[in-house]
Structure 1
Amino acid sequence: MDHHHDPVTGSSTVDVLAVLLRLAMLLPTAFLAGGGLLRPLVGELPRTRKLVLSGLGGLSALLAVVSAFAVDVNVVALAVHVVLAVAVPVLLRWPRAGRWASVALLALVVLETSLGGTGVEFALDSVFVAAAAVWFGFALLGPAVPPSSGWRPGPLAITLGGLLVLAGAVRSGLSGLGFDRRLYTTVFGVVVVALVVLPVAVSVLAAVRRDRAYRLGAIGVALGFLAWSALGAIPAPPPLPVPGVPLLAGGPGFPVLVSPQRPGHNVVHFPASAGGDLAAGVRGGIVTKAVARPGAEGTWADVELPPGRSDLEIRRGDTTTVVEVDAGDAPGPPITDADAPECASAALGGLVAGRADVLTSCPSDALTPEDAGALVKLVEFLGERKPSGITLVGDGSPRGVAAAKLVRDTAARAGLAVRPDAGPDTALVVVAGWAAGYTAMTRAAELQRLQPTHQYGLYLAPWLLNGPIVNAVASASLPLRFDPREATAVGYAVAVGDRFGGESPTVGGFRNWLGAGHPAGDVQIFAAAQVNAMPMYPTEPHATGMVMDRDYAGQWVPDGTIVPITSVLR
């Protein structure tokens, strides 16, 4: 049986019971608070109004208690709510005391409506809830307010309507939806529209029918109040996909990355934590199973996207989730199948940083000056160690070709031979992309297991600092311009892991996460190794702050470590 994600709600995680209970409790509470606020304006309160306010108080207290059994609530807030809901009807004989209880209850309604909102949102909550409560108060007690009280219900109705319109308009602007199709295709969008339309209708009614504005407009204000209260509990829909910008979307409990989101060949990436049995494809088209790719984490599915908008189906067992994509009409950058995972991972770094950059090129399209300088220093370092030669592994990408030529030219100046064979007294230097780099590492590990090979070490280009590649061998070295143990690098590692299901960091993603203009550091050679220097049992006592778990957040090498083995190379 297929369980389709409902694109209308924008989320499949809304707790409907909690929302309904919350709305059912807040609306009578707001009516009760409004009635209590206006009680001092009325001399002798009619019996029917007393019964209505008493009923509202009992209903509010009862629903608050019921909600405690259905959802997690703050016990102190619950107790205060029940006490104030009961106090307002009890204090009807003492209007001034009852007003203060109503003010406290109204403040509690604001807090319960805001759901932790701060700043501008909290101020808007206060204005909207207070204006609605006063409107409800006049709807309940208006006919009983004597003309001698000095209140002018007509102008006040217009003022309250204006406040509701202003608050609704600002809240709509803060929603981030703009004027796109999410306003009518998602529950969140429909609620935002209601926050604007209903107050406008009530304001028009107040201007036309001043004498009956409160009674007739109470329904509109009540619906607007319900919409306002529900908005905080409804997750906002994800941003609309932008053609050419790789899409980071949510799947059924795990994230999904679509790259480059252009017509034609795309890759759909799932983190390893998403598990297996995953597949992806355009609705009505071919669905491709997601499989592991050499040198990359997680699983990957190849998908052909048509021009324009389409629905991408993510299948996991018998569960199907729909993700909206928009490939546009322009062609995407030429991405080879071997370099697609590295390209997508680099784009993920920018998405994690909050940037929506159109993917126009991939790291394998060119050798950067920073990486070129690091490779030169690496070869010069090897020249001082005097191996019999360098075994060089490249690929056919523009970066791989340029890097291989640079290594050969630098080796010739340093008096090092570049040999095709893997001798015992050689150093292996890999400047290929992820796929070829992973193959070279697994082959080197097998050769070293059988006989002495590459005794001067295994060296990788900076962009090959990726878990599956460095963990293919016991130890490998890389020339880096940053320390993966420093705060900035660890911060990126934690950020990408949090946003993408525990995914490990990559150099290309780190660079995009930092953004353009970030200065390059000095070159040091780091060694990545699969080691656990201080193995201890989980229950064994250890020093305070000492991390014993090999899988702690922020690691650049899963189940391993990376440390500098040289000083800065000058």
Structure 2
Amino acid sequence: MDHHDVVATGSSTVDIAALLLRLVLLLATAFLAGTGLLRPLVGELSRKVWITVGALGVLSAALAVVSALTVDVNVLALVVHVVLALAVPVLLRRPSAGRWASVALIVLVVLETSLGASGIDFAVDTVYVAGAAIWFGVTLLSGAEWRTTNFRRGPLSLTIGGLLVLAGVVQLALSGIGFDRRLYGTLFGVALIVIIVLPIAVTTAAGFLLKHGESRVYRYGVAGVALGFVAWSALAAVPQPVPLPIPGVPLLAHAEGSPVLVSPQRPGRNIVHLPASAGDDVSVGVQGGLIGKAFPRPGAEGIWADVDLPQGRSDLVIRKGDRETTIEVDAGQDAGPVISDADAPECAGAAFGGLIANRSDVLTSCPADGLSAEDSDALVKLVNFLAGRKPSGITLVEDKSPRGIAAAKVVRDTAAKSGLPVQPDAGPNTALLVTAGWADGYVAMTRAAESQRLKPTHQYGLYLAPWLFNGPIVNSVASSSLPLRFDPREQLAVTYAVAVHNAFGGESPTVAGFHSWLGGQNQTARGEVQMFAAAQVNAMPMYPNEPHAPGMVMNRDYAGQWVPNGTIVPVSNVLR
């Protein structure tokens, strides 16, 4: 039976009851399995042992059935558990058969206490569970006459204690907590301390008690081993603490079921981002300070809030309606990069790409801080492409960011070589080219869409710089074109888009985030430049209540799209 899904249900009483049920079930089963495993090594059993083992079998089977009524379990595993739990007491008169039933029951307990991992995690779990079960078995059978002198219970106690300590240390290493404050400040960390410290105490006590009798070692030590086993079993149900915030590394956390992105996580101005799915009644601020409402921003998805973080650790408050959640942040002492208000969402998107690739990169700069060689080359090829179409001129929309200034210069210099005028005003026979950031780019495109609706304007098309390939921007017009070095329909780009969608409440991918996500594979997004057209299309328009064929996908807002509810296709050969 899999009991790993003991998670918050909205009622702490139900959660605690389910956890206690799980722990008693596994502890009783471990005592039962350990006793059956060692039964062939002893002679006649006392009436007390018979009654105890029978009671453990009935208790284990009953709790397994009750457990099935409270949490989702595998029905087949439930049946196997009940059969084995009842078989061990019945087979006490047939020790060999009972041993195999006990081995199967121990394996089942290992699966039930496992942390859901494999490999070394599963091996460590097996060592801890089997060691504890053997200790329990020796304890219950301590009053019986042992048939063989080869089974030396005294040295075995030291071996079991040492193995439990070793398994606990390995589990601590695998947890990633180390010796930071999560080890003593979270329930998961305290459980790790228990599974290490108690076996150490038991092993030390065993070394001193051996001269007073082997049975006394197990009777005195069983309480410590049992508590350690309970703590070990609880690890699978206790939420593992989130990684500690690292100053300068943007933080991805969760509040009220919604992801929260904090960047750059440095003293002073920070931007906090939540997806649109978080709702519009969200306020953000520092504990003890001002709490401000989060708002949408032009050219970006979701909602955003500016928050001033103090130096060092503090608590970020996320208030959603009448519910409030706090997130620990650590801005450190050093100043972070200066991020302009207009470029903050794009910068946050770039940071997010690295986070979902499981990298902890300190944010030192933003995409708008400079024009990359690849983007400069793409703009040159875009202007030459436009020159071949012979518009009367290029209407250029730029901004004052370092990237925007450099991009405008590239456009003007390239257009001058082709004799193509660059003008600030719109005209019917011009092409619109936007090299500004997200905010100004979104405004420029929405104005262009309105101008085209009223009169002939930009009849040679609307063109965007590569970094403006973002859902809200391209969807602000019916169609737009831009030079890209990767195909958004190919597997790697779609994989990134799905990762963003899943990790951040259905949000769309960004070019800057894609580059960060690729990391060392960034050459994949540095291929030859090709013109792509983004458009809002619906190839099969249908009325809301119109029936459709079975299996037809009607919801077009699915993961993996770079253009929400639209499409992106190549419209040129490779530009030389």
**TM-score normalized by structure 1?**
0.96
Letter in 1 for 2:243: P
Write the deviation string for residues 277-332 of structure 1: whole angstroms up to 9, x where unpaired.
Answer: 00110000000100000100000011000000000010000000110000000001
The alpha carbon displacement at 1:110 in A equals 1.1
Runs of 4+ in 1 over 4 A off after TM superposition: 9-14, 536-539
Please say if 1:176 is aligned against 2:176. yes
Distance 2:19 2:119 in 1: 23
Provide the residue aligned with 2:117 in structure 1.
117
State the SS of the aligned residue for 1:472. Answer: coil
Write the deviation string for residues 350-375 of structure 1: whole angstroms up to 9, x where unpaired.
Answer: 10111110000000000000000000
State the SS of the aligned residue for 2:574. Answer: coil
Contact 1:11 1:235 in 2 (8 A): no
Distance 2:48 2:372 in 1: 81
Provide the residue aligned with 1:5 in structure 2.
none
Provide the residue aligned with 1:558 in structure 2.
564
Letter in 2 for 1:383: A
State the SS of the aligned residue for 1:402. Answer: helix
Provide the residue aligned with 2:519 in structure 1.
515
Distance 2:123 2:298 in 1: 53
Please say if 1:328 is aligned against 2:332. yes
Letter in 1 for 2:48: T
Provide the residue aligned with 2:507 in structure 1.
503
Distance 1:41 1:149 in 2: 10
Structure 1 residues 10 and 45: CA distance shift in structure 2, 3 A: closer
Provide the residue aligned with 2:535 in structure 1.
529
Contact 2:269 2:309 in 1 (8 A): yes
State the SS of the aligned residue for 1:473. Answer: coil
The alpha carbon displacement at 1:517 in A equals 5.5
The alpha carbon displacement at 1:11 in A equals 8.2
Distance 1:148 1:176 in 2: 44
Write the deviation string for residues 337-391 of structure 1: whole angstroms up to 9, x where unpaired.
Answer: 1111110011000101111100000000000000000000000001111111111
The alpha carbon displacement at 1:548 in A equals 4.9
Distance 2:7 2:299 in 1: 34
Letter in 2 for 1:426: T
The alpha carbon displacement at 1:149 in A equals 4.0
Contact 1:292 1:300 in 2 (8 A): yes
Distance 1:236 1:372 in 2: 46
Distance 2:263 2:150 in 1: 66
The alpha carbon displacement at 1:194 in A equals 1.2
Provide the residue aligned with 1:415 in structure 2.
419
Distance 1:148 1:555 in 2: 69
Provide the residue aligned with 1:33 in structure 2.
33
Contact 1:41 1:149 in 2 (8 A): no
Distance 1:184 1:168 in 2: 15
Provide the residue aligned with 1:487 in structure 2.
491
How is 1:97-496 mapped onto 2 (pairs within 5 angstroms)?
97-114=97-114, 116-146=116-146, 148-210=148-210, 211=213, 212-496=216-500
Contact 2:343 2:437 in 1 (8 A): yes
Distance 1:87 1:517 in 2: 56
The alpha carbon displacement at 1:143 in A equals 2.6
Distance 1:53 1:33 in 2: 10
Distance 1:340 1:559 in 2: 25
Contact 1:10 1:238 in 2 (8 A): no
Q: Report the RMSD for the aligned CA atoms in angstroms.
A: 1.7
Structure 1 residues 145 and 175: CA distance shift in structure 2, 3 A: farther
Tell me how many residue pairs correspond in the alignment: 560
Structure 1 unaligned spans of 5+: 1-8
The alpha carbon displacement at 1:534 in A equals 2.8
Letter in 2 for 1:44: E
Structure 2 unaligned spans of 5+: 1-5
Provide the residue aligned with 2:573 in structure 1.
567
Provide the residue aligned with 1:6 in structure 2.
none
Q: Which moved more, 1:108-117 or 1:521-530?
A: 108-117
Distance 1:346 1:370 in 2: 17
Distance 2:412 2:358 in 1: 40
Contact 1:243 1:327 in 2 (8 A): yes
**TM-score normalized by structure 2?**
0.95
> Percent of aligned positions with the same letter in both sequences?
68
Contact 1:536 1:548 in 2 (8 A): no
Write the deviation string for residues 232-252 of structure 1: whole angstroms up to 9, x where unpaired.
Answer: 122211110000000000111
Contact 1:10 1:187 in 2 (8 A): no
Distance 2:208 2:275 in 1: 59
Please say if 1:540 is aligned against 2:548. yes
The alpha carbon displacement at 1:536 in A equals 5.1
Structure 1 residues 55 and 517: CA distance shift in structure 2, 3 A: closer
Provide the residue aligned with 2:50 in structure 1.
50
Letter in 2 for 1:319: R
Letter in 1 for 2:64: A
The alpha carbon displacement at 1:549 in A equals 3.4
The alpha carbon displacement at 1:17 in A equals 3.3
Provide the residue aligned with 1:3 in structure 2.
none
